[in-house]
Amino acid sequence: MKIIADENIPCVEQAFASLGDVELLPGRGMRAEQVRDADILLVRSVTRVDEDLLAGSKVRFVGSATIGFDHVDREYLRGRDIGFSTAPGSNAISASEYVISALVVVAARDDIKLAEKTVGIIGCGNVGSRVLEKLSALGVECLVNDPPLKAQGGHENYVELDALLQADIITVHVPLVTEGDFPTYHLVDKTFLEKLKPGAVLVNASRGAVVDNSALDDVLDRRDDLSVVLDVWEGEPGISMSLLEKVTLGTSHIAGYSLDGKLRGTEMIYRAACKHFQHPVQWSAANELPAGHSVDAKQFIAGDVPGNICKAVLDCYDVRDDDEQLRAVLSVPPQERPVYFDRLRKEYPVRREFQTVTISGAGIDKTSQAALQGLGFILL
């Protein structure tokens, strides 16, 4: 079989080699003539998969190594009996750790204690639920808004969106939905933004258009008390330089970009393809992952729970590094900025998850131990 794959899907050649010949292409701007003779198409969120791309092609299976599917016309695929799979939850751990790193940085900058704050979580699916678990482990009070889950029952404690306006921190984790009972396009709009409490923090690591970027830019012109963390942007890769200059932390849509999460996504669509074509599974992501690393607990200070959390989190992943890389785009010629944004994603350095870090040694206090274990670190 012929397999066309986005060149930025990690280990895609190794994973799919037993299924056929793999040809790598840039995902953004993939064209119909490039996929016409393919049996399998493997993409990420930057490729729009619809009739324009697939009409007249031989494609029998589409795999998207992403948690979302707003870039795929699923009705068209169903109508043509084309198999389809995404990788739900593959990068959820990574994205939740991005949020923790960002909040740790903001808390250290503003000299605040997260345990004394209230966090509003919009969307409690794969990512949001993990954010909730990690923040709860840190003793943070959380309010959750998720109308689709509430409608399914069993979530009577979930609150309405406006109730989150009482929170000190709001973090967004919903798919981009433009139709139906629960649309999320510009869910966080100008009205909502203007009602944020003084000193509030807003984090968006879901999809750019869930937050009205133009309205956010305007609100930040008038409210310098707000702290905003954006990993996703409207108009990617041609993002707003004006907005980038105003946010506290800005990154290039890499919240879910841990090596562990990316390989998890590759394996999920590989296994789905094997099932679709009744082919034996012959590859595992575990064989591609390097060993984790250890941290000596002697660097931690007994009783300094916020400080110990900050040290462990930023030693594993410091979001400020990604913020610095994206801000460099401000000195890039305007016509080259979209290419620069995409290159940051393509050439993203190896990043591991908290669960690959072992903290060894005696002396760390039990409260810090419980918090670090709740975040996912391994303690010996």
pTM: 0.91
Extended beta strands in 123-164, E state: 141-145
**CA Rg value for the chain:** 21
More confident residue, 242 or 154: 242
Are residues 137 and 227 part of one domain? yes
Residue numbers of the domain that contains 359: 291-317+352-380
* Residue 191 located in a structural domain: yes
- For residue 155, what are the CA distances in angstroms to 124, 148, 171, 238, 296? 10, 10, 19, 39, 41
Give the whole-angstrom CA distance, residue 58 versus residue 3: 11
- In terms of Cβ atoms closer than 10 Å to its own Cβ (0-12, 13-18, 19+), residue 160 is exposed
Q: Is the pLDDT of residue 362 over 80?
A: no
- Report the 10 Å Cβ neighbour count for 62: 26
Are residues 188 and 60 part of one domain? no
Are residues 122 and 265 part of one domain? no
* Residue 324 located in a structural domain: no
Angle at 378 between CA 376 and CA 380, to 5 degrees: 155
For the chain, the domain total comes to 3
pLDDT tens-digit readout, 289-306: 999 999 988 888 888 999
Are residues 223 and 149 part of one domain? yes
Torsion 317-108-375-168 (CA) sign: negative
Rounded to an integer, the average pLDDT of 226-245 is: 98
Q: Is the pLDDT of residue 239 over 70?
A: yes
pLDDT of residue 116: 96
Are residues 151 and 46 part of one domain? no
Give the whole-angstrom CA distance, residue 81 versus residue 78: 5
pLDDT tens-digit readout, 100-147: 999 999 999 999 999 999 999 999 999 999 999 999 999 999 999 999
pLDDT of residue 69: 87
pLDDT band at 313, cuts 50/70/90? very high
Q: Chain centroid to CA 39: how far?
A: 29
Do residues 353 and 260 make contact, with C-beta atoms less than 8 angstroms apart? yes
* Residue 16 located in a structural domain: yes
- Residues labelled as active-site residues: 207, 236, 253
Rounded to an integer, the average pLDDT of 65-92 is: 94
Are residues 199 and 150 part of one domain? yes
Are residues 232 and 374 part of one domain? no
